[in-house]
Each structure stands twice: as structure tokens, then as C-alpha cells.
Amino acid sequence: MTAPATPSPATAAAVEGWLAALAALDGATPNTCAAYRHDVLGFLGFLAVHRGAPPLPATLAGLGAPDLRAFVARERGRGLSARSVARALSAVRSFARWLAVAGNGEPTAILAARTPRAARSLPRPIAADAARAMIGEVAAGAEAPWVAARDAAVVTLLWGLGLRISEALALTGADRPLAEVLRVCGKGGRERLVPVLPAARAAVEAYARLCPHPLERSGPLFRGVRGGALNPRLVARAVEGARHRLGLPASATPHAFRHSFATHLLAAGGDLRAIQELLGHASLSTTQAYTAVDAARLMEVYDRTHPRA
């Protein structure tokens, strides 16, 4: 979205109150709150132009379906994807519900607005042999032995435990040596227990032995060159370099290792509900996307093995 118009003081205060409630009651992360703030302020900026005045908190309850259709049309006309517009409307709905609870009317039109349907993209995992090669190549491209061990350990955690990059980098010195089961705090503050493979434990210990910075129990486990917390962009950069050197597609990102963890478990006969628990998905429907990936791979093998005449 473009930079939104400045909302009225009352509306700006309402937005911050809503975001504070999301963080305190729902465990919304700072990144989630920032994205929601951006989307809602963008919508309010649209209303200021569309209606000719900065909207007040009660304005949302008085909106009609034409207002919502105009917003969607404007965003789609600016080239935003259906997924991005749907995310913005989801944030606006959440804000409107919070306003309603606070006594600012019932936002009927917002709650009833039709969300643009986005084609659901399938996860794009990395093949097992390519994942193993990536771990070696990430280490080979590092500038120092301890950095090589660090990058290999992080990527091993993403693939071997199915962690998000934020979850791996949230580990502290108190987490090592890794136990047989690791307690992970994921999105929305949801905790889950993940079994730790011996290879992952060994990779972390190899890094810890070489790391030149003291790994205090209260400090980050993975360190940058200057000793601060490792920036996820540096991990992405290391994976990108390895991907280029191996000739892998652009979809081979740090998050793709998490996809690989799920699809490889599924292909080995893993239970879908168990995989949901290991990934920390709130809904089974999110995990079910991996069954489509597995089916798509089976069809590719079938087409190669049994080509049509």
C-alpha cells in the first residue's frame, strides 16, 4: 500500500489499543502487529480519500458494501495480489471487531465483505539429496570455520527439526546441549515439543566448540561475527549463495527446509496429525497442503514412467 493519510487522533489511539490487545491477549508478535498496523492504516487512509475526511472509530460501523468493494477494487487495480488484499481485510475485520466490543457499533459490512479468492500455492520443498548438498555448500561458502559450523547447524535445525528460522535463532545458550526433545515457542506463543536428531545435536555442538564468543545461558545461541544475535538475513544470504552454486531454483530458501521436513516425513509414512503437532500448525488444513505436494510428486513420477503415446 502507499503511505496512508494520517488518521484522526482518536482513531490512531484506537489502532494502538487494538494492537496492544493483540499482543497481550493473543500473543501477536511485533512483526505481526507491524503488518496489521500497516494494513489497517492503509485502509483508513483509503477511507479518508474515499469519504473526504479522516474516519473516526465509529465510522467503520457505518460502512456499506460499496465502500468495501471500492477498497478491494482500488487495491487490485494497484496491482496487489488477492492474497495481500485478503490479508488487509482480515486485519480490518479484527480491528472492527475490537471496536465493536468497545462500543463503536456493529461493523456488519466489514464482517460480511467477500474476500478475494487467492489460488493456494503449494509448498515447494527441497529434495533430500539437494538438502544434504545445501548444508555442505552453506558451510563451504563461509568465511571462517566457526561461521561454516554455525550456518550448517542452523540449516540442520531447519531441516531436521522443521523449525522456522525465527525459532532456530531464538534458541539461547541455555538450550545447549540440545536435549532429546526441544521445547519450541512458535507463532502466537504456541509451544510444541520436537524430537532432536543426533545429527542436529552434533551440528550445534560442533558450532559451539568453534564459536569465539561466550555463549551465556541468557544470550542467543547463534552469534553474528561481532558477537550479537545472528541476523536471519545472513542465513538467507548463505542459503542463497549455496543455492546458486548448486544450480537449485529460487524456491530453495531457508523456509523451504521446513517444507522439506514435512514432506519427507509424510513420504515416509508419517501421520498427518503428528506432523501438524511437530510443525506447530494451528489448523490441520495448513498441514494438509503437504499431501497435495506428495500427490503432485507421485503424478510427476507416473508421467515420467508412463509417458502418453
Q: Is 258 tagged catalytic?
A: yes
Per annotation, catalytic residue among 223, 243, 258, 264: 258
Distance, CA of 55 to CA of 7 (rounded, Å) = 7
Q: Does 245 qualify as catalytic in the annotation?
A: no
Least confidently predicted of 111-120, 240-249, 272-281, 287-296: 287-296
Given the residues 36, 150, 164, 259, select the one marked as catalytic: 164
Of 99, 111, 108, the residue nearest 13 (C-alpha): 99
Residue ranges of the domains in the chain? 9-112, 128-254
**Strand positions, DSSP E, 86-210:** 181-185, 191-195
Class of domain 128-254: mainly alpha
Tell me the CATH architecture of domain 9-112: Orthogonal Bundle (1.10)
DSSP β-bridge partners for residue 182? 194
Quick check: 163 and 176 in contact, CB under 8 A? no
Question: Which residue among 76, 97, 187, 192 is the active-site one?
Answer: 187
Residue whose C-alpha cell reads 558450532 in the numeric block: 207
Whether 9-112 shares its CATH topology with 128-254 is answered: no
Q: If you average pLDDT over every residue of the chain, what do you get?
A: 82
Model pLDDT for residues 174-233, shown as the tens digit of each residue: 999 999 998 888 777 778 888 898 999 999 999 999 999 999 999 999 999 999 999 999
Count CA atoms closer than 13 A to 64's CA, side-chain side: 3
Tell me how far the alpha carbon of residue 59 is from its chain's centroid: 32
The packing angle between helices 254-267 and 272-279, to 10°, is 160
At 3-33, the pLDDT tens digits run 445 678 888 898 999 999 888 877 778 888 8
For residues 129-143, average pLDDT: 88
Grid coordinates of 80: 496487489
**244 catalytic residue (yes or no):** no
| Active-site residue, from 50, 76, 255, 297 | 255
pLDDT tens digits for 48-81? 888 888 888 888 888 888 888 888 888 888 888 8
Known catalytic residue at 255: yes
Q: Are 163 and 216 in contact (CB under 8 A)?
A: no
Tell me, yes or no, if 223 is annotated catalytic. Answer: no
